Amino acid sequence: MDLTENPTFANQRSSSDVVGKPMVRIDGRAKVMGAATYSAEYNQLPGLVHAVFKTSDVAKGRITGFDDSEAKRLPGVLGILTHLNMPPLAQTPATPEGKKKIALAMQMSFTPMLADQIFYAGQPVAIIIADTLEHAQHAAALLKVSIVAEQPVASYQDARAELFAPKDGAAAQVPAKRGYAQEAFSKAPVQLTLTCQHVTNHHNPMEPGATIAHWEAADRVTVYDTTQAIASTHKALYVMLGLPPDNVRVVNKYLGGGFGCKLTMWPHTVLTVQAAKFVGRPVKLVLTRPQMFTSMGHREDQEQTLRVGATKEGKLLALLHEKTSTTSPWDNYAEMNSKIVDMLYACPTFEASVKLARANVMTSTYMRGPGEAPGSFAMECAMDDLAYRVGLDPIAIRLLNHADKDPGTGKPWSSKSLKQCYERGADLFGWSKRNPKNGATRQGNNLVGWGMASGSYPVHDAQGTARIRLFADGHALVQAGATDLGTGTYTIITQVAADSLGIPPEKVHFELGDSALPTTAMSGGSRAAGTVSSSVFLAAQDVWQKLIKVAVTDQHSPVYKAKPADVEAVNGRLQLKTDSTKGEAFTTLMQRIGLDDVEGVATGHYGSSYESPKATLNTPNAKKDDAAGHSMHSFSAHFCEVQVDTDLGTVHVTRWVSVVAAGRILNSRTARSQVMGGSIFGIGAALMEGTVCDPHLARYTNASLADYHVCVNADIPEMIVAFIDEEDRYVNAMGVKGLGEVSIVGTSAAVSNAIFHAIRASFDLAAHNAGQGAESVG
């Protein structure tokens, strides 16, 4: 659609009755009643049977044989699939064509069960399909697999690990060097070096990975899958299976969290599809909790060293960031921590480098603010260290180094309210009462510390299409192939549609989660809200343009013979701009002329691809390419109080404030939940979460929720969450920036800085300066 035709539809946007309101989740009732169908719950499919993985206990080796004599004799066993009888795949992410087409849709280029080699512990070696789950599990236990084991490498810390600088892959992408950071650092009056080690973390969504594959014909399959990304999972499947796109359908109506592990497709999905083909029945596979530690990626174990040079007054002169981490035998993936070090503060020089070591682990992946979350830990702990050395308050040093434009690109910000986040957060927390002396506040046997940190998360460019059918009886069907992680996509898009169409939210039916619907952005990288809301808003404008054209040619219409450009839609009324009394509800028009429904379709852009003339919807003054001329980020500030038990060394978070500036907030209730979730992840990462890998066996030893500790209610205090109202003129038609991930960035550092404030007096400054790793996560 051409939006220049009638840019005054922008008015529709401002008449918001429900956008921004704390509307309760419209999917909430279905969820608590057990009526929401998750991927593993399509149990009514005719002839549905169950599959389980048999996995390797050893991390490196070669399969020399299978003994299935006992397993296959069990009742109900329908098939045992191994690399010896796997139906062929047209492509994999490792074949040249597959690599070209689906490398981004699949984080791991290796597909297990195609050959005899074992690369990581937990690697699937067989799929057992049976009539019941119990029969499949029993058969898996009886299946004997002979593996010749070799000595694995567990991590970059292994003495036999070989470090290398990646030349390609995500790990090779570090921000461009600015100036001469080494030289600036060596001359800086104040120098500090901070080293932090981070252990492996796992996403652990409540809902494990699950797939049901249903071949409806020999060349046609529907896949119910726990995916955050309908479109890329769809593509990965049709490319791997060698089928036309229309012959593969991917469905996901509800997700029980994902946090990045459901963002790209993992091998279990296509292997379940293969199993279904093998037995000629619909097959369900649900990963067990232990299998969740070796099937859908993790945040890699890593070490960061940040060297900071500054003036005596605390102004930054140099930032040098080094990262070393573990990767898989095939892929060069490392989360890009240095991006946020590059952009968070004004600093004339910057340099970053990355080293990897291959080990016998699967490929790590995006997790809860990938890059920015651990990167902000290093940066924000270093800022507190610097503040301490130069005798400044932690907020003062951040204001002193505030970046008025993006230091990395030199571009102005599309919007930035970080200062307001500090101010509001300080106010809500009572920061002015902070004891400037570290290690000096006691409460009983506990030392009390107050810390804060900044957060930022970039707008990742995306686009997506939405379709609306508006009916003469006043209801609307709204469709986009998005997913709702549980964070509120159903609800916020319903709100946006209601306001854009001028109808109550109860009259909106929003459908998502199906590759048969218009293609849109993944629910990842905090893209979904901005992309889907904008496309729905624009699709509504398409509806209005069509209806206005009808209205001006209908002789009974109050706007008969008006120029379309002189007619506007306000709250579902088509009326003259110059005289609002000359108009009528769209339902009146449609019913009178016997028009049952009208369809609108539009593509919304999020980020720098969003440009004029669409920008005119958001601001009358935006020029073409204004969007691309800006650096786009959400910002946040987090405040934390801890109490440290001086006898036991235990840490409790006792107070928390988060303030977030992320453009227009579509729903204050779901937004608040998301910010609380992000903060809780940060507290978990700082104090509790961590996967333990046996250094000799390269096996995870705490692969369960009993042993991998995530925060529970008792660990979390009452949280205060606030938002700064922002009007971002460049990011998209709705002025929405991402919220999910900026909620976690900086949170671990806020905890660490609070501990630093509580106990710092007892630290040896010289040892810390030598890079002895005073802070660590996990």
Rank residues 615 and 662 by Cβ distance to ligand MOS and give the closer one.
Answer: 662
Residues 127 and 49: their CA atoms lie apart, in Å, by: 12
Rank residues 201 and 575 by Cβ distance to ligand MOS and give the closer one.
Answer: 201
CB of 522 vs ligand MOS, minimal distance in Å:
8
CB of 293 vs ligand MOS, minimal distance in Å:
17
Rank residues 401 and 748 by Cβ distance to ligand MOS and give the closer one.
Answer: 748
Binding residue for ligand MOS, selected from 10, 336, 367, 693, defined by CB under 6 A:
367
Asked if 424 and 352 count as a contact pair (C-beta separation under 8 A), the reply is no
CB of 614 vs ligand MOS, minimal distance in Å:
25
Which DSSP category does 271 fall into? H
Please provide residue 658's backbone torsions phi and psi, each rounded to the nearest 5 degrees: -125, 135
Please name the helix (run of DSSP H) or strand (run of DSSP E) that holds residue 654, with its range, or none.
Answer: strand 651-661
Binding residue for ligand MOS, selected from 152, 524, 558, 684, defined by CB under 6 A:
524
Rank residues 264 and 631 by Cβ distance to ligand MOS and give the closer one.
Answer: 264
Rank residues 107 and 732 by Cβ distance to ligand MOS and give the closer one.
Answer: 107
CB of 263 vs ligand MOS, minimal distance in Å:
5
Tokens of 189: 């009056």
Binding residue for ligand MOS, selected from 18, 263, 660, 697, defined by CB under 6 A:
263
User: CA triplet 22, 27, 31: central angle to 5 degrees?
Assistant: 125
The reply on whether position 525 binds ligand MOS by CB under 6 A is yes
Q: Is the peptide bond before 613 cis (omega within 30 degrees of 0)?
A: yes
Residues 505 and 501: their CA atoms lie apart, in Å, by: 10
Rank residues 92 and 228 by Cβ distance to ligand MOS and give the closer one.
Answer: 228
Which DSSP category does 254 fall into? -
Rank residues 439 and 740 by Cβ distance to ligand MOS and give the closer one.
Answer: 740
Sign of CA dihedral 489, 670, 778, 401: positive
Least Cα distance to 434 among 398, 397, 402, 395 occurs for 395
Please report how many Cα atoms fall inside a 13 Å half-sphere around the Cα of residue 70, on the Cβ side. 9
Let me know how many helices (H) and strands (E) the chain has, helices first.
Answer: 18, 27
Rank residues 335 and 384 by Cβ distance to ligand MOS and give the closer one.
Answer: 335
Binding residue for ligand MOS, selected from 152, 258, 502, 530, defined by CB under 6 A:
258
CB of 373 vs ligand MOS, minimal distance in Å:
9
Residues 53 and 69: their CA atoms lie apart, in Å, by: 18
CB of 366 vs ligand MOS, minimal distance in Å:
4
Binding residue for ligand MOS, selected from 201, 211, 228, 531, defined by CB under 6 A:
228
Rank residues 91 and 364 by Cβ distance to ligand MOS and give the closer one.
Answer: 364
Q: Which residue is nearest to ligand MOS (CB)?
A: 260
The reply on whether position 490 binds ligand MOS by CB under 6 A is no
Residue 437: count of CB within 10 angstroms of its CB: 10
CB of 257 vs ligand MOS, minimal distance in Å:
10
Rank residues 263 and 361 by Cβ distance to ligand MOS and give the closer one.
Answer: 263
Asked if 238 and 211 count as a contact pair (C-beta separation under 8 A), the reply is no
Asked if 661 and 724 count as a contact pair (C-beta separation under 8 A), the reply is yes
User: What crossing angle do the helices spanning 230-241 and 267-279 adopt, rounded to 10°?
Assistant: 50
Please report how many Cα atoms fall inside a 13 Å half-sphere around the Cα of residue 124, on the Cβ side. 31
Binding residue for ligand MOS, selected from 20, 93, 370, 488, defined by CB under 6 A:
370
The reply on whether position 386 binds ligand MOS by CB under 6 A is no
The reply on whether position 368 binds ligand MOS by CB under 6 A is yes
CB of 363 vs ligand MOS, minimal distance in Å:
14
Q: Which stretch binds ligand MOS (CB under 6 A): 132-140, 238-246, 365-373, 502-510?
A: 365-373
Asked if 130 and 283 count as a contact pair (C-beta separation under 8 A), the reply is no
Q: Which stretch binds ligand MOS (CB under 6 A): 255-263, 285-293, 294-302, 730-738?
A: 255-263
DSSP states along 524-568? -TT-HHHHHHHHHHHHHHHHHHHHHHHHTT-TTSTTTT--GGGEE
* Residue 151 falls in which region: left (phi positive, over 0), alpha (psi -120 to 50) or beta: beta
Q: How many residues bind ligand MOS (CB under 6 A)?
A: 11
The reply on whether position 366 binds ligand MOS by CB under 6 A is yes
Residues 206 and 258: their CA atoms lie apart, in Å, by: 8
Q: Which stretch binds ligand MOS (CB under 6 A): 213-221, 360-368, 391-399, 451-459?
A: 360-368
Rank residues 260 and 455 by Cβ distance to ligand MOS and give the closer one.
Answer: 260
Least Cα distance to 92 among 113, 61, 120 occurs for 113
Rank residues 103 and 550 by Cβ distance to ligand MOS and give the closer one.
Answer: 103
- The contact pattern for ligand MOS, residues 657-686, with x = CB under 6 A and - = no contact, is ------------------------------
The reply on whether position 227 binds ligand MOS by CB under 6 A is no
User: What crossing angle do the helices spanning 668-687 and 747-759 adopt, rounded to 10°?
Assistant: 50
Rank residues 483 and 534 by Cβ distance to ligand MOS and give the closer one.
Answer: 483
What radius of gyration, in Å, describes the C-alpha atoms of the chain? 28
Asked if 379 and 294 count as a contact pair (C-beta separation under 8 A), the reply is no
Binding residue for ligand MOS, selected from 122, 260, 513, 684, defined by CB under 6 A:
260
CB of 344 vs ligand MOS, minimal distance in Å:
19
Tokens of 77: 């066993």
Rank residues 525 and 778 by Cβ distance to ligand MOS and give the closer one.
Answer: 525
Instruction: Tell me how far apart the terminal alpha carbons of the chain are, to the nearest angstrom.
Output: 50
CB of 262 vs ligand MOS, minimal distance in Å:
7
Q: Which stretch binds ligand MOS (CB under 6 A): 169-177, 256-264, 505-513, 717-725?
A: 256-264
* Binding stretches for ligand MOS (CB under 6 A): 228, 258-260, 263, 366-368, 370, 524-525
